[in-house]
Structure 1
Amino acid sequence: MTTRVPVERLRLIADGWERVRRPDTLAVEEPLEIRAAGQVVTVTMRTPGADIDLVHGYFLAEGIIADAAGIRSARYCAGAVATGPDGREQNTYNVIDVDLTEPARAAAGLSRTALSTSACGVCGSASIDAIRDRLPPPLAGPRAQVTAGIVADLMRRVGAGQENFERTGGLHAAALADAGGSIHALAEDVGRHNAVDKVIGAGLRAGLLPRADAVLLVSSRASFEIVQKAAMAGISIIAVVSAPSSLAVETAAALGLTLIAFARGDRCNVYSGFDRVAD
């Protein structure tokens, strides 16, 4: 997930600029090509690791599968090779082929091939309306509550669990938790949408989703895509460190989700689903 590179650090001191060369740790960013029965579905720039979880989360969000059983198998392609430092060919682990259980259902979801980057999770969409049409109806069932104190504690623990962010300063984090304060999955990635896909995929594979009291925590802002992914996974509570977009708030409210933003330290703002957040 990380790599070391040389860097020159310049610092202004009393008699001029001091220049020091030292190693620095960076977050790795590499492409992951996702295929279904050999057909390219998408290429996303991600931080390697938890790729199978990422695939499950992505396919669920796109409506290609309905649950973990929708993927019969997922494997790295043996033919995806590159020349390593020793001159030998080695697997890049950057291409995954998925065998889907329900080809007919998958065909509709696969009709839109997207190119996602670490900066934008919905590139390639014909329009926002095209994505909005795939969203499920408002979540039904009992409305679980979470306290503001638990949200603050979860955010603190997610921050403390960002091992690679501490080393690089260049990774987003996402976590899947419950309203009781337990964290079930945590992932880091250069793309916040990839980190979200990874924890949703982990929860899906573990049989934890959908879940009425599930909480999605993200160490960045709340965008439309984050709300969409949570809704498709059956997550009713979202908490983020930074600001929400107007469309994220509008979508969360329309779908009956609770959206909490600016969740930092001893404060947070609730933008929708106010009744789910207790004092």
Structure 2
Amino acid sequence: MSDLNKKISVRKISNSPSIRTEDYVAIEEPLEIQICSPKKDLSAAKSLSITMRTPGNDHELAVGFLCSESIISSHKDIDSIASIGETQNKDGLQNIVRVTLNQSVDFDPSDLERHFYTTSSCGVCGKTSIEAIRAKGIKVNSSKFSIKKEKIIDLPKNLKKQQESFLKTGGLHAAGIFNSDGEILLAREDVGRHNAVDKVIGAMAINNDLPGKNRGLIVSGRTSFELMQKTIVAGIPIIVAISAPSSLAISLAEEYDITLIGFLRGENFNIYSGSQRVSC
């Protein structure tokens, strides 16, 4: 399914008499991510996550989610990935993705006892502690990535060029991967900002581009703890946001030497951590 939006009929109210017209809205559907493994205790597929997402690039979303949760470290940890389940409508939409892990992956099924439930607004519920990422043994980012101020200023404009559905609906978040020249190498849209990030990270994993030590991430909203976690796990040294970061996001950025930029609007932005990677 390629379309991220659908056309509906609305009554438009303004100072003039109301009119009946057509408009576009972003599509939101549940996606269940299942995992299984040739290992005996995971031979039957188990539900890992249910997320509210905009259909499209579902396999990337699943791979990105597994990478962000440190269940896998690369696409090579996956034997197969498939969309399954009953076809929901004329578009052929299926709302289950099943990932079969490679037998070499060391994953404890008891971790599944804490079921993930994610929404399009907040992502994985319950991840409120910095200790959750410290426990994974991830090292400080030592990337020498550098980008000029002028290239950062151009990022929102460059990202918007690839936000086709947002221009129609005004209802989708976007995430983009950029290089040191400020070029958007890949972009994804979704009703959930965390899903958009999982999709670009998943695409990088599938293309064997992780860790992303020579890449940056731009997001169209704010930077939460969860988005910072995903950035750190993916090995990306810089995250740029149009809006504000949270206090936990700043703490993590400082601890793992991530360049964190917020309030990028016009020619202005704030650097909260890692200013050495920005050339002014």
The residue matched to 2:123 in structure 1 has which SS? coil
Per mean C-alpha deviation after superposition, the further-off stretch among 124-133 and 170-179 is 124-133
2: CA distance, partners of 1:2 / 1:119: 18
List structure 1 segments (4+ residues) > 3 angstroms apart after TM superposition: 108-112, 124-132
Specify the alignment match of 2:61 in structure 1. 54
Q: Deviation of residue 131 (structure 1)?
A: 4.7
The residue matched to 1:166 in structure 2 has which SS? helix
Q: Deviation of residue 137 (structure 1)?
A: 2.2
Pair 1:113–1:221, CA change in 2 (3 A): same
Aligned alpha-carbon RMSD (Å) = 1.9
The residue matched to 2:121 in structure 1 has which SS? coil
Specify the alignment match of 1:80 in structure 2. 86
2: CA distance, partners of 1:234 / 1:111: 28
Q: Deviation of residue 235 (structure 1)?
A: 0.2
Pair 1:92–1:173, CA change in 2 (3 A): same
Specify the alignment match of 1:139 in structure 2. 141
Aligned counterparts, 1:1-279, within 5 A: 1-13=4-16, 18-37=17-36, 38-77=45-84, 79-82=85-88, 84=89, 92-102=93-103, 105-107=106-108, 110-125=112-127, 129-134=131-136, 136-140=138-142, 142-279=143-280
Pair 1:135–1:43, CA change in 2 (3 A): farther
Per mean C-alpha deviation after superposition, the further-off stretch among 189-198 and 211-220 is 211-220
Contact 1:176–1:184 (Cα < 8 Å) also in 2? yes
More strand by share: 1
Pair 1:143–1:127, CA change in 2 (3 A): closer
Contact 2:130–2:252 (Cα < 8 Å) also in 1? no
Q: Deviation of residue 124 (structure 1)?
A: 4.3
Per mean C-alpha deviation after superposition, the further-off stretch among 38-47 and 117-126 is 117-126
1: CA distance, partners of 2:163 / 2:207: 22
The residue matched to 1:119 in structure 2 has which SS? coil
1: CA distance, partners of 2:117 / 2:126: 6
The TM-score normalised by the length of structure 2 is: 0.90
2: CA distance, partners of 1:167 / 1:81: 26
The residue matched to 1:201 in structure 2 has which SS? helix
The TM-score normalised by the length of structure 1 is: 0.90
How many residues matched? 268
Which one-letter code corresponds to 1:257 in the other structure? I
Pair 1:33–1:166, CA change in 2 (3 A): same
* Structure 1: gaps spanning 5 or more residues: none
Q: Percent identity?
A: 40
Q: Deviation of residue 205 (structure 1)?
A: 1.1
Pair 1:30–1:125, CA change in 2 (3 A): same
Q: Deviation of residue 112 (structure 1)?
A: 3.3
